[in-house]
Chains A and B, each alone.
Chain A
Amino acid sequence: MDLELSVEQAQLRDSISIAFRRAVESSEALGPMLAELGAVSMLVPQEQGGMGLGMVEGVIACTQAGRFCLNFPLAETILLTGALTSVRPEAGKRVLSGLSSITAACDTRREGQEHRNSGGYSAAYLDSAEWFAVLREDGDIAFVEVSRLGQMSRNDLEPGIATGLVGVEPVQDSTAVVSMDLAVERLAILRSAEIVGAAAFCFETAIEYLKDRRQFGQPIGANQALKHIAADGYVQLENIRVAIDYAATAIDRAVDNPGEFEWREEAQQVVSVVLSFVPTAARELAEMAIQFHGGIGVTWEYPLNRYLRRILRIGQSLGSSEDHRRTLVNRMVASDAEPRWQEQSVEKRPA
Chain B
Amino acid sequence: MNICFSEGQKQYRQDVRRWLEASLPENWIEAAHWPLLPEPEERAFLVDWERRLYDAGYSGVAWPKAYGGQGLGPVEEFLVNEEMGRISAPESLNTIGRELVGPILLSVGTEEQKRHYIPRILRIDDIWCQGFSEPNAGSDLASIKTRAVRGDGGWILNGQKIWTSYAHMASHCILLARTNADAKPHRGMTLFIMPMNTPGIEVRGIRHLNGQRHFNEVFLTDVRIEDGMRIGEIDAGWQVAVGVLGFERATTRLYRQQRFAEELRALIRQARSNGSMTGAMEEKMGEIAAELEVLRYHNLKFLGRICQGAKIGDESSLLKLLWSQIHQKIARLGLEVLGPDIDADSPVAARFRKIYFIARGETIYAGSSQIQRNIIAERVLGLPRPERRPA
Contacts and interface: CB of A to CB of B under 8 A. Distances in A.
A211 B383 contact: yes
B5 interface: yes
B4 interface: yes
B376 interface: yes
Contact of B381 (A230, A327, A333, A338): A230
Contacts of B62: none
Given A4-B1, A246-B3, A350-B30, A231 B290 contact: no
Residue with the greatest number of chain B CB neighbours at <10 A, chosen from A9, A272, A277, A328? A328
A329 B286 contact: yes
Contacts of A350: 26-27, 30
B377 A324 contact: no
A207 B381 contact: yes
Contact of A249 (B2, B21, B282, B383): B2
B377 A231 contact: yes
A227 interface: yes
A210 interface: yes
Contacts of A9: 1
B286 A325 contact: yes
B285 A249 contact: no
Nearest to A250: B3
Interface of B: 1-5, 17, 21, 24, 26-30, 75, 86-87, 261-262, 264-265, 268-269, 272, 282-283, 285-287, 289-291, 293-294, 297-298, 300-301, 303-305, 307-308, 318, 321-322, 370, 372-374, 376-378, 380-388
B377 A243 contact: no
19 contacts: A9-B1, A207-B382, A211-B383, A217-B388, A218-B384, A218-B386, A219-B383, A227-B373, A228-B377, A253-B3, A253-B4, A273-B290, A277-B287, A325-B285, A331-B289, A332-B265, A339-B87, A339-B262, A348-B26
Contacts of B380: 234
Contact of B286 (A224, A245, A276): A276
A172 interface: no
Contacts of B17: 339
Given A329-B285, A349-B30, A1 B383 contact: no
Contact of A325 (B87, B290, B303, B385): B290
A345 B29 contact: yes
A250 B293 CA distance: 13
Contacts of A6: 1
B384 A219 contact: yes
Interface string A255-298: 00000000000000110110011000000000000000000000
Nearest to A323: B286
A247 to B, nearest CB: 9
Contacts of B307: 1-2
Contacts of B374: 224, 227-228, 231
Nearest to A331: B289
Interface residues of A, number: 64
A230 B370 contact: no
A329 B282 contact: yes
Given A207-B383, A326-B286, A349-B29, A1 B5 contact: yes
B285 A234 contact: no
Contacts of B376: 230-231, 234-235
B107 to A, nearest CB: 23
Nearest to A349: B30
Given A234-B381, A350-B27, 8 more contacts: A217-B388, A221-B383, A226-B383, A231-B374, A231-B381, A242-B298, A273-B294, A349-B30
B383 A243 contact: no
Residue with the greatest number of chain B CB neighbours at <10 A, chosen from A1, A245, A325? A1
Contacts of B385: 222
Nearest to B317: A231
A232 interface: yes
A249 B264 CA distance: 26
A217 B387 contact: yes
B1 A3 contact: yes
B383 A210 contact: yes
Contacts of A246: 3, 297, 300
A18 interface: no
A242 B318 CA distance: 12
A249 B3 contact: yes
A329 B289 contact: yes
Contacts of A230: 376-377, 381, 383
Interface in A198-252: 207, 210-211, 216-219, 221-224, 226-228, 230-232, 234-235, 238-239, 242-243, 245-246, 248-250
Residue with the greatest number of chain B CB neighbours at <10 A, chosen from A216, A234, A249? A234
Residue with the greatest number of chain A CB neighbours at <10 A, chosen from B265, B285, B289, B370? B289
A207 B385 CA distance: 14
A233 to B, nearest CB: 9
A152 interface: no
A5 B318 CA distance: 20
A333 to B, nearest CB: 5
A276 B290 CA distance: 7
A300 interface: no
A203 to B, nearest CB: 9
Contacts of A331: 289
B304 A2 contact: yes
A228 B373 contact: yes
B387 A222 contact: yes
A340 interface: yes
A333 B264 CA distance: 9
A219 B378 CA distance: 13
Nearest to A347: B29
B388 A216 contact: yes
Contacts of B1: 2-6, 9, 56, 245, 248-249
A331 B265 CA distance: 10
Contacts of A332: 261, 264-265, 268, 289
9 closest A-B pairs by CB: A325-B286, A227-B377, A231-B373, A3-B301, A218-B387, A231-B376, A328-B289, A2-B304, A221-B383
A227 B282 contact: no
Nearest to A55: B1
A238 B317 CA distance: 12
Contacts of B303: 1
A267 to B, nearest CB: 10
Residue with the greatest number of chain B CB neighbours at <10 A, chosen from A2, A5, A321, A342? A2
